[in-house]
Chain A
């Protein structure tokens, strides 16, 4: 199984090389979709063969790599890794399907996305800190150029900001990795970057406190937690639609994934020590970002702020030291990945048709593109936690768990969700329903608007069907989450 995992990770890399060599746009598109579909099927196969009663990492593979430094090529998945691996594989299928009409430098575009897919899949399955960091940082290069090449007006600014912010976090992460590895070396006399080796070391409190901050900075920028969030709205506004989809659905999860995978098990005492700080930052993110979202007139910026708000909920629940809350946090990562992707696709579709993201230029679109109005509504409902959809299960678990340990914080977080409903419905009203504001000229122009095409439908159905599945039949997924939760809390 481990070999299959490795194949899934490196298949996109090989396809990227093929795309770069062949340089034919039709070939690029076909092979990208084919690759991502194959990777998705492998992911599903791995998911079906995942034994959630077996409390250890599965589908593992470990090859010798850099022996003098104790680095091995080690891959494996736990429940959370499996869930995010599936999400990533799905999202790249969606992104490639969405991009079949790309005309601007299509070969480079697909090659970069394929590289990005390798990096993202690698991050969620690496079990060696060196390998993890390699994927973590390598991800920057394709994303930088995706924003920089295919972005909108301020793309260079946004790309540079994205790069520098993320690099800011990850270089601290590198120092953090160095410090735990060196501590392991001092304790045991050998250098090793192995995740299990480093996880089982008892770090002294001072080192935990320092290393938690170093790791945490790296993760916090990616989440993004307030006050490191300012790159996100810019990056989303400028990124092309498929880039936004991947950014929101996959890249944002890396930070919270890192918290659960590394910070919680490796620095348990520090994780308790910093609870007030994390909670404060999370609640500020939930409330502040939701309020910022209400104030936006740019729909992509609004969705970006809503992402920050939702991710605040995830970080809050991650550190609530409660079984249900952690389950909910991981569930929320997946649910938010689906909802934000669908929302960004809706926004991207509107831009493709009307060439504006501004609410002032939009209004009453439900009359002209009714199909989009339906999927847009559904996507929003996933996000605001409508019962029967993925977001509801996540929010329910989070509130249930957090309330038990920290009722006040849970109450504040819950009020953030109300704001979530407010800004989404407000946006929906302005974009889809309100007809008074639009001019006759626009009415005339919009009467010929083309509604969702086949590739749009495929992308939306993939995402929304998954959301419904996660909403009405959460049991297997909660079991997946519990697999990780059990490893974190023991028992």
Chain B
């Protein structure tokens, strides 16, 4: 038993237990304290990453850590910590200071952390469920809010379908290879093709790629906004890490390329067109994340160093933009009666320049405008796709990016340029929200100008 390999997970588990007991003992008024305390747990886990010796395996080789796992986990812990700092004020304002929130978030992080290291379908299954079930509960934790319950239920239903697909895929994998361990496999047969089909569907559902995206807009719309920042980034990050692992193993199969290409093309174009019809900014961002799922899937279409490193970089900066934009949204939502309708954003940028400018920077980053770091990710993806000679996919990416520019701009122009009295005056930021927002902004701008700060840590 190699305890060193699971050091960060141990730190997380201890933190979770501690918070669990503190929640039992402490009164509701310590909610803020519990959250901030929980926010430090992933930071300690992050520090413990530096003491993990790689590569290492444990749990009968089902759990493996290498440099790429360390990268993914580091990013995951940062996200988790930032989300925890950003969410307490919102729940206090919404009168739902449930003490379960901090340790549920951590529990989900723990699941995802195990997920990133698993190279066995069984442990993958268990860890993804640990994370998903925590998130189902988290979404529903908004007192007296019908939408929150409804979206939790929708997410639960769709998530169960995903679980079923995941299980089916695993079964076929076992049928084809006689093992649950993910390893190179060269024979092309029906069972293996079925594995690819089902397993990719399950993962597509997790990253909300079309046609498995239906839960996304509803779940984002109803869920507590600061938590959306978490569920839109952390689980997806973990699933993409797995996708990259699978790409390196299985992308020599023609079926893999075809399925991934179809999923990504559908996601890009469907979501980018549908986003124009949205009146709710939260749904708009949900469709934006579906479109991005399409972009990211392109990076999993072909096994190539440049492509996968570009994907990881793109992903690594994208999550900060998403988290940051949902922090801004949740700050807006703290106002009484704010429902994220596009009309309510009119003039908000002028009334509240800091939040408005921050959100605009994130939106421009989504479009891919320098010096925001997402443009470097886009450039890297182009380079990878060109190198793999997937010109058509590269063109599709270009066209989809162009289509997407319009709805991001619409939001910016609504916030700043359109005339008319602003209905809402904007609200203040709590200390935790300011910190999260600042980290997101700085990382987006800094990594755009100096991508090597992140790029050198990306290893496959």
Seen from chain A, the residues whose Cβ lies within 8 Å of a Cβ on chain B are: 65-69, 130, 133-134, 137-138, 140-141, 144-145, 148-149, 155-156, 159-160, 163-164, 167-168, 171-172, 174-175, 177-179, 181-182, 185-186, 191, 210
Q: List 24 A-B contacts (CB under 8 A).
A: A67-B452, A68-B455, A133-B370, A134-B370, A138-B370, A148-B416, A148-B417, A149-B417, A155-B417, A156-B417, A159-B413, A159-B417, A160-B409, A160-B410, A163-B409, A164-B402, A167-B369, A171-B401, A172-B398, A175-B386, A175-B398, A179-B382, A179-B386, A186-B387
CA–CA, A409 and B385, complex, Å: 40
B66 in the interface, Cβ–Cβ < 8 Å? no
CA–CA, A334 and B69, complex, Å: 55
CA–CA, A152 and B371, complex, Å: 29
CB < 8 Å neighbour of A167 from B382, B383, B402, B451:
B402
B101 in the interface, Cβ–Cβ < 8 Å? no
CA–CA, A399 and B346, complex, Å: 52
**Contact A177-B369, Cβ < 8 Å, known A68-B456, A160-B413:** no
Give the number of residues in B that approach A within 8 Å (Cβ atoms): 34
B56 in the interface, Cβ–Cβ < 8 Å? no
> Which residues does chain B contribute within 8 Å of A67, judged by CB atoms?
452
Q: Is the CB of B382 within 8 A of A175?
A: yes
**Contact A181-B383, Cβ < 8 Å, known A68-B452, A171-B402, A175-B394:** yes
Count chain B CB atoms within 10 A of each CB in A65, A138, A149, A191 and give the residue with the most: A138
Q: Is the CB of A178 within 8 A of B416?
A: no
Q: Which 7 A-B residue pairs are closest in the complex by CB-CB distance?
A: A178-B382, A148-B417, A178-B383, A134-B370, A182-B386, A179-B386, A156-B417
B375 in the interface, Cβ–Cβ < 8 Å? yes
Q: Is the CB of B371 within 8 A of A138?
A: yes
B338 in the interface, Cβ–Cβ < 8 Å? no
CA–CA, A160 and B411, complex, Å: 11
B378 in the interface, Cβ–Cβ < 8 Å? yes
With A67-B452, A177-B379, A178-B386 known, 9 other A-B pairs at CB within 8 A are A66-B450, A68-B455, A164-B406, A167-B367, A168-B402, A178-B385, A185-B387, A191-B383, A210-B391
B145 in the interface, Cβ–Cβ < 8 Å? no
**Contact A69-B416, Cβ < 8 Å, known A141-B369, A185-B387:** no
Q: What is the minimal beta-carbon distance from B445 to any residue of chain A, in angstroms?
A: 12
B368 in the interface, Cβ–Cβ < 8 Å? yes
Q: Is the CB of A167 within 8 A of B413?
A: no
B residues 400-438 in Cβ contact with A at 8 Å: 401-402, 405-406, 409-410, 413, 416-418
> Which residues does chain A contribute within 8 Å of B386, judged by CB atoms?
175, 178-179, 182
> Which residues does chain A contribute within 8 Å of B379, judged by CB atoms?
130, 133, 174, 177-178
B364 in the interface, Cβ–Cβ < 8 Å? yes
Q: What is the minimal beta-carbon distance from B386 to any residue of chain A, in angstroms?
A: 5
Q: What is the minimal beta-carbon distance from B412 to any residue of chain A, in angstroms?
A: 8
CA–CA, A175 and B298, complex, Å: 15
Q: Specify the chain B residue showing the minimal Cβ separation from A147.
A: B417
CA–CA, A134 and B387, complex, Å: 22
**Contact A174-B378, Cβ < 8 Å, known A133-B370, A134-B371, A156-B418:** yes
